[in-house]
Amino acid sequence: MTRRASEPKRAALARRVERIVANTPVFDIHTHLYDPAFKDLLLWGIDELLVYHYLVAEAFRYFDTPYEQFWALPRTRQAELIWDALFVQHSPLSEACRGVLTTLNLLGLDARKRDLPALRRWFAKQNVEKHLTRCLELAKVERICMTNSPFDDLERPVWEKGFRPDERFVAALRVDPLLLAWSGTAPRLAGWGYKVGGALSAPLIGEVRRFLADWTKRIRAKYLMVSLPPDFRFPDGSMCAQLIEMAVLPHCREFGLPFALMLGVKRAVNPALRLAGDGVALADLQSLQNLCSGFPENKFLVTALPRENQHELCVLARKFRNLHVFGCWWFTNVPHVVEEMTRIRLELVGLSLTPQHSDARVLDQLVYKWSHFREILARVLTDKYAGLSRAGWEATTAEIQRDVNDLFGGAFERFCQTG
């Protein structure tokens, strides 16, 4: 076909793909949002958007105040300083800043006057339940997976007391303190009635598994999850690797649950920045290979923080069907890298993965995180279907819809159900 003839065809394909990608509901498989029954744990509104740790890290580059002086301020004052530094004194070009503006814009607010008090007045009038529904509708998110930690003193009592769940939320059991800080966690388990004193032994493992079983049932966990540092190795004599092998993996097999690994986060590179102080370094994917090949009856959901791990991770996914790649996590969730990762994943793995999760900590962030990703995905998919078309294969609308359904939660659900 001549170039002139193919241009309208490509434009029509782009419109079709954009419409499907924009309108397909998504299952957001990893967030830090909570069912509204958790009350204040569900963060929302303009001040929370501004004090998001992604923005805190950026704002500190312009501040000259000592860290602790900033943290001692009321949250509203922190938000004002961040607004001033990142939106008034400089143009908000970074992805996290642009995200605030996309969110405000799609909520129907006009931020052009740079009028923070006016924005606050609008949010003050919202009711959390209605605002939740509105954000979910704008983001076209139909289900949200929370991050649930029995070790969180604010969260644990809500589970213990019980509540009527909002069916749009599902739970995931987060086990970082168990695997990464055993010496501090063992006394807490002991305090809750689990007999975990002494050295690693069969009875101790039995008690850890009893703890995992109790919480898996209590929260009806969809999967277990841990984030791991760059120096994580498996197999290894470390407590972390041994607990994974002897307790977590058998538990996941018993309950038929995936184990989610978030690889390559270097915690507290600058502790003074608190939540904003974490960094990144290359993860050891040989260890992931050892897990996938050594435990074919286990399922691993995996995302990696370093850009440099992404290609190798896709190659591993080609070798092990018990590995499901997901998300553009944190520092990779910037348009340039998201586009690159999404292309590499589709080109190397195909559609049996989940290309994005939001990692939202503030409800309103769902709006921008999904809007920004849908724009990139539509562009990448249009290129891919156009490539097929040049090879003589025209994807039908139903086929494109099927593929997008898979990318937005279908492939994840299938992976969870297998085995």
Burial class (CB in 10 A: 0-12, 13-18, 19+), 343: middle
Q: How far is the CB of 163 from ligand FIX (least distance, A)?
A: 23
Q: How far is the CB of 387 from ligand FIX (least distance, A)?
A: 32
- Select from 269, 275, 315, 388 the one that contacts ligand FIX (CB under 6 A): 275
155 touches ligand FIX by CB under 6 A: no
330 touches ligand FIX by CB under 6 A: yes
Q: How far is the CB of 303 from ligand FIX (least distance, A)?
A: 9
- Select from 357, 361, 369, 372 the one that contacts ligand FIX (CB under 6 A): 361
For ligand FIX, the closer of residues 330 and 412 by Cβ is 330
The 3-state DSSP class for residue 30 equals coil
Kindly list the residues in this chain that would bind Zn ion in the complex (CB under 5 A): 359
For ligand FIX, the closer of residues 32 and 343 by Cβ is 32
- Measured in degrees and rounded to the nearest 5, phi and psi for residue 27 equal -100, 110
Residue whose CB is nearest to ligand FIX in the complex, by number:
359
268 touches ligand FIX by CB under 6 A: no
The 3-state DSSP class for residue 143 equals strand
Helix (H) or strand (E) holding 247: none
For ligand FIX, the closer of residues 359 and 406 by Cβ is 359
244 touches ligand FIX by CB under 6 A: no
364 touches ligand FIX by CB under 6 A: no
For ligand FIX, the closer of residues 153 and 167 by Cβ is 153
Contacts of residue 229, Cβ cutoff 8 Å, sequence gap at least 6: 180, 264, 265, 266, 267
Q: How far is the CB of 346 from ligand FIX (least distance, A)?
A: 23
Contacts of residue 94, Cβ cutoff 8 Å, sequence gap at least 6: 58, 86
Burial class (CB in 10 A: 0-12, 13-18, 19+), 218: middle
185 touches ligand FIX by CB under 6 A: no
Contacts of residue 220, Cβ cutoff 8 Å, sequence gap at least 6: 170, 171
- Select from 227, 298, 310, 365 the one that contacts ligand FIX (CB under 6 A): 227
For Zn ion, the closer of residues 176 and 207 by Cβ is 176
* 14's tokens: 């782009």
Q: How far is the CB of 118 from Zn ion (least distance, A)?
A: 32
Residues binding ligand FIX: number (CB under 6 A): 8
Q: How far is the CB of 19 from ligand FIX (least distance, A)?
A: 29
For ligand FIX, the closer of residues 227 and 298 by Cβ is 227
Q: How far is the CB of 359 from ligand FIX (least distance, A)?
A: 4
CA 277, 283, 287, 291 torsion: positive or negative? positive
Distance CA 206, CA 210 (A): 6
- Select from 80, 207, 359, 364 the one that contacts ligand FIX (CB under 6 A): 359
Distance CA 377, CA 181 (A): 38
Helix (H) or strand (E) holding 261: strand 259-263
How far CA 226 is from CA of 202, 262, 265, 358, in Å, comes to: 23, 6, 11, 17
262 touches ligand FIX by CB under 6 A: yes
Name residue 270's amino acid. Answer: N
182 touches ligand FIX by CB under 6 A: no
For Zn ion, the closer of residues 134 and 369 by Cβ is 369
Q: 322: alpha, beta or left, given left = phi > 0 and alpha = psi -120 to 50?
A: alpha
Contacts with ligand FIX by CB under 6 A lie at 32, 147, 227, 262, 275, 330, 359, 361
